[in-house]
Amino acid sequence: MRFVIIGGDAAGMSAASRARRNDPSLEIVVLEQGQDVSYSACNIPYNIADPERTIDDLVVRNAQTFREKLGIDLRTGHRVEQIDRDRKTVRGQTVQGGNFSLRYDALLIATGAKPIQPAIEGVDSPGVFVVKNLEDGRRIKSWLNHRKARRAVIVGMGYIALEMAEALVERGLTVDLIKPRPDLLPWLHPALMQPVRDTLVAKGIGLYDGHPIDRIESQDEALSVISGQLVLPADLVIVAIGVTPNNHLAKAADLALGIGGAIAVDRRLRTSDPAIFAAGDCADSYHLVTGQKTWIPLALRANRAGWAVADNVCGGEVELPGVAGTAVFKVFDMQVARSGLHEAEAKEAGFDPVVVQIKSKSRAGIYPGAQPIYVAMVGDRSSGRLLGAQITGTDQVAHRINAVAVALLAKMSVAEFCQNDLAYAPPFGPTWDPLLTAANQLRKALAQ
């Protein structure tokens, strides 16, 4: 029995390692087109922030460990170009130019996602970067070091854009953020977005949302991002406007695609071909709240899906219930957390959403260091169900969202959520945690 895995990052290497633990005799082959496997992509901005650290610090386990300790046939520099479903064979090219072909009994596509490249003139100029893999990180660090970059423009305002803004400010650069559409984080409740915007402005970051980009000019190693009359000079430009699933192999093999072009998989991670699984950023998943398909490329679900594929390849019947859409990031001292649906998503999914927004304190009001904390919470008027929440603030925000994530898996009503016996001590919150205050108010609003 041969288990072939295309892609050696989170989902792929999680599947390989777990399959080995499940079955010491299974033949496991991983085909990775690059040289890096099993690295922490999420840490790239923090690594870039620190000139003392090398990007290779981000390698969690190197290829040798997988080969020697786990007995996984890990082949880096192997680019798969075709999946022949009839012959259960993958074919491709090595980095040296040789061809290879390999039969599989079970196949996992774990090809991840790739950054979206906008159709902007000059986006391919030297000094314009995306932030996706270690090689991108290496190039950015090298550019920062050798060009003595002083100004950066970041195209995009998603969480990677914001994490990179922080990293570059930490490195002493002046940073501008620009994007065509209005609003810093359009999915965030306006009252929760304002403190994020304030934080960025206080750090001297230029915020140019609602600015369509005409072109990136490059002259004598000096870059400029042009939007109408606005000219933003830069020594480097980061493009971080989102990612799109690497679906070309699946598409060419005529596998069903789902939302956003992600490979469609069932709850057991099977594609439309029962011998082929897909997991990680290239695959879709179910949303716990809507029950519908969604595509949320994040690290935990990639790891979890990799495990589930390994279990199912080894004879298991593991079904994943889906994702709650939980996410958290920080930018400077501001933390932003979400789980479940925001108002517009809830409407789109056919719910009748009611939203409350409250401001409370991160600790007991009279405890030193208490900071404002903002919560928005969404419930469904007809069923009373909790649909989602968002939190922003500078103190003890991130882990608070997990109470909501658990409640969403449990399909709790807002009224039930109000009854949660959450922890209280003055250093950690008011007696009624901000989440309970929001839930109590949402319960009232739902009853009206």
Query: What residues are labeled active site?
Result: 42
Tell me whether strands 206-209 and 174-179 are parallel, antiparallel or unpaired: parallel
Contacts of 87 (CB under 8 A, 6+ apart): 103
Q: Which stretch binds a second copy (CB under 8 A): 91-99, 143-151, 218-226, 431-439?
A: 431-439
Candidate residues 23, 34, 46, 332; the one interacting with a second copy per rule CB under 8 A: 46
Task: Using the rule CB under 8 A, give the single segment among 23-31, 111-119, 230-238, 396-404 that binds a second copy.
Answer: 396-404
- Helix axes 10-22 and 299-313, enclosed angle (nearest 10): 30
Q: Which is nearer to a second copy, 163 or 176 (CB)?
A: 163
Enumerate residues 6+ apart whose C-beta is below 8 A from 2. 27, 28, 29, 102, 103, 104, 105, 106
Amino acid at 172: G
| Residues 269-308, mask of contacts with a second copy (x by CB under 8 A) | -------------------x---------xxxx-xx----
**Alpha-carbon torsion 12, 113, 274, 264, what sign?**
positive
Site for a second copy in 339-358 (CB under 8 A): 339
- Considering only residues 51 to 70 of the shown chain, the ones binding a second copy according to CB under 8 A are 57-58
Within residues 4-23, the interface with a second copy by CB under 8 A covers: 10
376: contact with a second copy by CB under 8 A? no
List C-alpha distances in Å: 383 to 62, 380, 410, 440. Answer: 49, 6, 15, 16
Q: Which of 328, 372, 394, 445 binds a second copy (CB under 8 A)?
A: 328
φ/ψ region of 356 (left if φ > 0, alpha if ψ in -120 to 50, else beta) reads beta
Q: How far is CA 317 from CA 38, 44, 200, 314, in A?
A: 26, 35, 47, 9
Contact call for residues 404 and 414 (beta carbons, < 8 A): no
The residue among 11 and 154 lying less far from a second copy, judged by its C-beta, is 11
Q: How many residues bind a second copy (CB under 8 A)?
A: 65
Give the C-alpha separation, 322 to 308, whole Å. Answer: 12
Q: Which of residues 231-270 bind a second copy (CB under 8 A)?
A: none
Q: Which of 173, 420, 441, 445 binds a second copy (CB under 8 A)?
A: 420
List strand residue ranges (DSSP E) for 188-302, in order: 206-209, 215-219, 222-227, 230-234, 236-239, 243-245, 276-278, 285-286, 293-294
Per CB under 8 A, does 445 bind a second copy?
A: no
The one among 88, 141, 400, 443 contacting a second copy by CB under 8 A? 400
Q: How far is the CB of 143 from a second copy (least distance, A)?
A: 22
Is residue 312 within the footprint of a second copy (CB under 8 A)? no
Query: Distance (Å, rounded) from C-alpha 424 to C-alpha 410?
Result: 22
Q: Measured from the CB of residue 364, what is the shortest distance to a second copy in angstroms? A: 6
32 with 7: CB under 8 angstroms?
yes
Which residue from 401, 414, 438, 442 is in contact with a second copy, where contact means CB under 8 A?
401
Q: Is residue 427 part of the contact set for a second copy (CB under 8 A)?
A: yes
Considering the rule CB under 8 A, would residue 441 count as an interface residue with a second copy? Answer: no
Q: Which residue from 91, 359, 428, 441 is in contact with a second copy, where contact means CB under 8 A?
A: 428
Does 421 contact a second copy by CB under 8 A? yes
Select from 100, 406, 441, 445 the one that contacts a second copy (CB under 8 A).
406
Q: Which of 79, 132, 151, 330 binds a second copy (CB under 8 A)?
A: 330
* Distance (Å) of CA 200 to CA 154, 173, 175, 280, 333: 13, 14, 10, 31, 10
- Establish if 192 lies at the interface with a second copy (CB under 8 A): no
Closer residue to a second copy in complex, CB, 53/91: 53
Q: DSSP labels for 8-54?
A: -SHHHHHHHHHHHHH-TT-EEEEEESSS--SB-GGGHHHHHT-TTS-
Q: For residue 389, what are its two tokens?
A: 């929440």
The binding site for a second copy (CB under 8 A) comprises 10, 40, 42-43, 46-47, 57-58, 288, 298-301, 303-304, 320-330, 335, 337, 339, 364, 366-368, 396, 398-403, 405-410, 412, 416-417, 419-429, 431-433, 435-436
